[in-house]
Amino acid sequence: MIGEDVKVVRNHVVDLYESGCIELAGYKIVGNHRKPVYRAVVLPVISDEVARKMTVEERHDVSGAITQGILAETVCSYRNGKLDVDPVCLLWDAPNLDAQGEEEMHAHLITSWEEAQRIHANATNRMAESGEVGQTTFVGLLGFGRGRPGRPKGGYFKTGNNERS
C-alpha cells in the first residue's frame, strides 16, 4: 500500500500478523509469484476502561499497530497525491497542558471520535438509500505525551499563513 519493497516492511507485517491485527486474506499472482495479501482484522479502539486492564506490553502492541496503520495510510495518501486535493484537513499542535487540561483534551478527543462514528453511520445509511459509492476517508485523532520537550526554536507556522510565530 505504501509502495515500499516487501523486504523493507516485512518485519512490520510479521509483527502485525503475530499480534493478531492483520490476517491472511489470500494470494494474488504477480508474474510467476504468489504474493500474500493481508487485511486488518479489526481496527483497534480501546476504551479507557479496557486500557486500564491491559498490561504495558499489550498497550505497547496496540499503540504500535495503531501508529503503523496511521503512518501507512498517511504515507500512501501522500504518495498518491490525496493530500494535495480538497477537502483535506491536516492539523496538529503540541500544547502544554496541566493535569486538568489533559483530562479535558482526552474527553474532547473521545467526543470527537464518537461524533466521527455518528457521521460515518449517517453517511452509510444515505449511501444505502441513494446507491452512491462514497469516498473512503481516513480520520485519525491522536493525543499523547510528546516524546521531546518544548517547542522548536522559532516556533511553528501559524495556521493560515507562512509566517512563523
Same domain, 99 and 162: yes
| Burial environment of residue 125 by CB neighbours within 10 A (0 to 12, 13 to 18, 19 or more) | exposed
pLDDT at 122: 95
- The residues that bridge with 34 in the sheet, in sequence order, are 29
pLDDT at 38: 81
pLDDT at 133: 92
Same domain, 158 and 96: yes
Same domain, 120 and 66: no
pLDDT at 13: 83
pLDDT at 21: 73
Same domain, 33 and 1: yes
In tens digits, what is the pLDDT along the chain, a chain of 165 residues?
667 777 888 888 888 788 777 888 888 888 998 888 887 776 667 888 888 999 999 889 888 888 888 898 899 899 999 999 888 999 888 888 999 999 999 999 999 999 999 999 999 999 999 999 999 899 988 888 888 777 666 666 655 554 444
What is the three-state SS of 40-67? ECCCCCCCHHHHHHCCHHHHHHHHHHHH
pLDDT at 6: 72
> For residue 139, what are the CA distances in angstroms to 36, 46, 93, 129?
27, 16, 17, 24
Same domain, 119 and 56: no
Its pTM stands at 0.66
At which of 52, 85, 118 does a domain end?
A: 85
Domain count, the chain: 2
Same domain, 37 and 57: yes
SS3 content of the chain, % helix, strand, coil (to 5): 45, 10, 40
Same domain, 81 and 95: no
Same domain, 27 and 59: yes
Which residues form the domain of 79?
Answer: 1-85
